[in-house]
Structure 1
Amino acid sequence: MNRIPTKDALVRRNISVESDLCVFCHEDLESVDHLFTACVTAHRVWCRFSEWVKIPPIFAFSLTDLTDLHKGINGDKKTKEIVQGLITVTCWCLWKARNAKIFSDGSGNVDEIFGEVKSLSFLWLKSRSSFSNLSWREWYSFPLYMM
């Protein structure tokens, strides 16, 4: 719906920004699709994600591709819901890292971003689902171990 205030969206709304380039790679216009799929930082995070969840490599060209990714995952409805939640958490962590880099001198480090994906998604699932007895050790290695 083009409501995420990326730099290109802010410029379209006549809001002055210092630079409209991606804060992670400084190579392209910071749009929603670039920030979440095309940027080298996002690509590395999604590579780590697919290895962690043990799914084929993710080839997404838009945010919509990411939000629909869970539909093509093998497994039951619960597995698909967990993968959808993991994708949402990963997008949130990329957005938070982008904002930290702009507003509080964050690093944008892939390892830090992905570490936050693992910890936030563990806390999210443990507190908001029937999987209240999740094991951090098992989760850290493979988030769908309980399926």
Structure 2
Amino acid sequence: MAQQTWILIFQWMKIPLPRYILSVVQLLEFIGSYKGGKKLNRAVYTVAAATCWNIWLMRNAVIFKSKPPDIAKLISDIKAISYTWIKNRAGLSDISWENWRNFNF
């Protein structure tokens, strides 16, 4: 489930995800080497953090509350939470929800 989530999130961000990434450290190294400009890189880091957080929350819901995993909800939550973080904490308050939904900068 986590691997499929990362694939879908990187497709949404229009960034090809290499197959060799096997850990969060490798993921952060890949993101750090991505040449997309200051705003885009900040957005990608924010989405990565939101993805880690939401995968953890879903994992806990599956294990401790016996809820079935729902990748569609997980992806939706990642987009919504990362948008909130971008607007309020990452200094990109000028981006609209419509642009964020399509990951347009």
Normalising by the residue count of structure 1, what TM-score does the alignment of the two structures yield? 0.65
Tell me which of 28, 45, 69 is aligned to 2:5.
Answer: 45
Residues 101 and 120 from structure 1, CA distance in 2 versus in 1: closer, same or farther, beyond 3 angstroms? same
Percent identity for Structure 1 against Structure 2? 30
Aligned-CA RMSD value: 1.5
* Structure with greater helix percent: 2
Distance in 1 between residues matched to 2:91 and 2:49, nearest whole Å? 19
User: Whose RCO is larger (CA < 8 A, sep 6+)?
Assistant: 2
Aligned-partner SS, 2:32: helix
Show the counterpart of 2:66. Answer: 105
Structure 2: state its 5+ residue gaps: none
Q: What is the aligned residue count?
A: 104
Q: How does 1:13-32 map to 2 (within 5 A)?
A: none
- The code of the aligned residue for 1:88 comes to A
Q: How does 1:60-99 map to 2 (within 5 A)?
A: 60-99=21-60
Distance in 1 between residues matched to 2:18 and 2:11, nearest whole Å? 10
Structure 1: state its 5+ residue gaps: 1-40
Post-superposition offset of 1:134: 2.2
Post-superposition offset of 1:91: 0.7
Greater C-alpha Rg: 1
Q: Is 1:139 aligned to 2:97, yes or no?
A: no
Q: Return structure 1 stretches of 4+ with deviation > 6 angstroms.
A: none
